[in-house]
Amino acid sequence: MILRSCIPVLLGLLTFSAQAALVTYNNEADFIAIDATQARYDFEIASGFPEGSYDYDPAPSLIGEIDGIQFDATTISPADPPTSGSQTMTGYSSSQGGNYSAANLDFSNLSRRITGFGFYGLDLLPGESIRVTADFRLGGIQIFDVDLGSAADLTPIYFGAYDADDSILSLSLLGIDGSGNNSAWHIDDLSLTSVAAVPLPPALPLFLGGLLLLGRFQSKRA
């Protein structure tokens, strides 16, 4: 009877643990300071990425799999220099006719879990933003609109998001103009935080131990 009455409490604890704090960042120094393993992708040829074209053509620059991550995206070499090196990441469809596409990153085949991401968004025209759709294992779909401001010519704007108690299954990035239409876009210097395995919620082992003791007590009384 006691165990049965504790089930709603256990479910409530699990729900509470699934609502861990999601933290966002607007500068790289704070993101780098996160106490977690981090990998940084600069999209340069020396780092294993394909040579980017100048016209959003995916044929020579579709990234594919890097470090177990499926990059459904392309590299591109913008006319103006990005935050580092000479290449950035963008969508995978041709820009002919204004067809600017999303880039999708799939983390489902990784043995580690991705807990956060950060990057520099680079504007091309004033009033643009990058829409980031993140699929969290516990938190579900989270959408972030990264406002690139009124500047142009690849002015870098930093954005990051991190949740230590959740994991990100995939990311989708898409450029949006001031009217809400798809727009050309770039990002550079993508950083990902990760941990080796999915831990139990911190309070769960103690709670389960308490349930076990209650069960033994009930058995003795019976």
The domain that contains 160 carries what CATH number?
A: 2.60.120
Read off the DSSP letter of residue 92. S
What residues make up the domain containing 82? 24-200
Instruction: Give the contacts of 143 (CB within 8 A, at least 6 positions apart).
Output: 131, 132, 133, 134
**Would you give per-residue pLDDT tens digits along the chain (222 residues)?**
544 544 444 444 444 444 559 999 999 999 999 999 999 999 999 999 999 988 777 778 999 999 999 999 999 998 888 999 999 999 976 555 556 789 999 999 999 999 999 999 998 888 999 999 999 999 999 999 999 998 888 899 999 999 999 999 999 999 999 888 888 889 999 999 999 865 545 554 555 455 555 555 455 555
Read off the DSSP letter of residue 207. H
Strand duo 62-66 + 88-90: pairing: unpaired
Q: How many angstroms separate the CA atoms of 102 and 80, rounded? A: 22
Residue 213 pLDDT: 54
Residue 18 pLDDT: 46
Q: How many angstroms separate the CA atoms of 66 and 140, rounded? A: 25
Q: Is residue 82 part of a domain?
A: yes
Q: Is residue 136 part of a domain?
A: yes
Stated as kind and residue range, the H or E segment containing 73 is strand 69-76
Q: How many angstroms separate the CA atoms of 174 and 145, rounded? A: 10
Return the sign of the alpha-carbon dihedral for residues 45, 72, 143, 109.
negative
Q: Is residue 211 part of a domain?
A: no
Total domains, the chain: 1
Q: How many residues does the chain have?
A: 222
Q: Is residue 214 part of a domain?
A: no
Do the beta carbons of residue 116 and residue 101 sit within 8 Å? no
Q: How many angstroms separate the CA atoms of 135 and 167, rounded? A: 9
Residue 27 pLDDT: 95
Q: Is 39 helix (H, G, I), strand (E, B) or coil?
A: strand
Instruction: Give the contacts of 137 (CB within 8 A, at least 6 positions apart).
Output: 113, 166, 167, 168, 169
Q: Is residue 221 part of a domain?
A: no
Q: Is residue 17 part of a domain?
A: no
Q: Is residue 186 part of a domain?
A: yes
Q: Is residue 118 part of a domain?
A: yes
For residue 25, give the nearest of 17, 15, 33 by alpha carbon: 33
Considering the entire predicted model, what is its pTM?
0.79
